[in-house]
Amino acid sequence: MVSLFLLWAAPVEALPLEPKGAGFALGFRAAYGIPSGKAVGSAKMMDVIGETAAAQVEFAYFFNSQLSLGVYFQLGFGRAPASCIEALCGSNVRRYGIDLDYHFRPGAFVSPWVGVGLGFEDATVELDEEESVFGSMPYGGFDLGHAHVGVDLRLNRTMAVGPYLSASLGQYRRSGSRDFSSHSRSVHAWIQPGLRMQLHF
């Protein structure tokens, strides 16, 4: 009985927390997206796309316990308040690309990490009135680059959960098959605070 009590009372740090060296990991994120800048021309991102609630799934390969390279896909749903005075409206934003992350102190319970990446960003804005779509505008372009920083709370060698903050720059270059003119292309930004869970195999 005494030995069982001592094992139960042992601090979390005493347990083996460092994930295996090389291997794969699957991640899930939930984020709140705050846009700034222009979507195209003088149209503001906040007025066209609006703030979003986004879910992301990612698949990464760890070269060792600290460095990983992965791919991601994010789907966000928004509502532009300036366009929704007399109509139901909505937007969705799809982001996908690659990430390179570095994890400090991977064997600790509290493990900070940083990362950079780039990819593509597509968006669709729809206006509905009485269940009939009377306006739909697709946007397509690039995630010119993003950086994120976070803290993993490592529960065991397989699972880590923690908050993160991401910042990115993007540019829409086309609407459907029509390219925007060079003078109407604008750079926009996203700030996304969120929560990530990562599972190591």
**What are the sequence ranges of the domains in the chain?**
88-94+126-170
Element (H, E) at 83: none
pLDDT at 89 > cutoff 90: no
For the chain, the C-alpha Rg in angstroms (whole number) is 21
pLDDT of residue 10: 45
Output the pTM of the full model. 0.83
How many Å apart are CA 19 and CA 152, to the nearest integer?
Answer: 12
pLDDT of residue 128: 61
CB 72 within 8 A of CB 97: yes
pLDDT tens, residue by residue, 135-170: 678 899 999 999 999 999 999 889 999 999 999 999
